[in-house]
Structure 1
């Protein structure tokens, strides 16, 4: 018998907290058939927007959050669309939020069991880009060499903010451009690069789909299908001259190409040129 849901509210006033085992049981009971579960571990520096991203990704599912052994888990059912525009399979996506503090050891405990990683950085934080290269990619690759990576640039809505630009200029920095994000994607061997604002629902859904496709190894539908139209619409809705999704292809998993334009500046941050 399935255990009853826990309906107590979180301390932050967010959606109800739920035991992760309850959510797993609910997902696995679909017409008597098992639903494939994909575990995605989300990493990145503190304050880049990981928790906001996960909340936005899962809020319309009304599935709430679950307490995992090492932190918060978010759950989302993701339909995979075939070439005919019909749903081929619905996958249960388990998203694990990890701390971004330097000395917190809870996150790495999840790395070996991950099917896919989301590595997040803020496009207005050079330090967080530096951490992708020096901390997050080496960490996940050491523990889990084969799991695919999806790279996410957060806080895209602040790319042209006057106050942000002024403060970065004082440090001889500027926001990461979409092209620079694509170059970083190529350098770390990520499958995809997304630029995200948490208000763009279409792009969030597309991100979830690509995370699942990367984990299960399913190819994208051919052009002209429902997903292709969604991707096109998402790009058109982006503002400030920035696309919501990069469509660049990645190098083979784990490969670091020579001649990439991402280089280190100092221990406080990195410069993309």
Structure 2
């Protein structure tokens, strides 16, 4: 390669095609000169061939680099999508039981069924503090996980199940007669009573108390929550392990 090509290579505005363009221009000049000896033409052909080979290798390298960058970008997009899904799940689900958390179900009510009628079931595990005190919190966590799984197994697919905190849970159901909603709660109570729950200290039998009510159209959520909570309190007062329902038209007696 002569000094002209080397100078081209050192220019600040050099690109991967500068050398090839210079070689092509030089070869065209040689070819246009009819007096060019055959040996010089062969030498020029060798130079052009070498330039083409270099260009071919460079194009291959750039293609591979582009493929690697595209693959890396696709991988990052997949990781970002997965991370977003994980963060969304963590924001809306209870870490221990894997079911919805209170924030998720209240947002659902506010955004999706803000003005609609629906059913609300509040319930908690009777004497759950004794499980933690007598068997330890790891055993209590085992019971909570097993309890949530069993409720999910017996829950109709059109109902939402959430942990409100501690041993307190809630179900949001489609609008239906109060008697029907009461029966759903009763079926869940029987499912819980059917078998004890596994823990690291052995099997633990538990019972559940339920409070049930209906939310009327355009009624504040606080109203149906107050009724269901009052029904749950009555279930506790009446001996636990039972379902109590309060109709929207009922007057709630203040708790003692």
TM-score (norm 1): 0.26
Mark the structure with the bigger radius of gyration. Answer: 2
- The answer to which structure has the higher helix fraction is 2
TM-score (norm 2): 0.27
- The answer to which structure has the higher strand fraction is 1
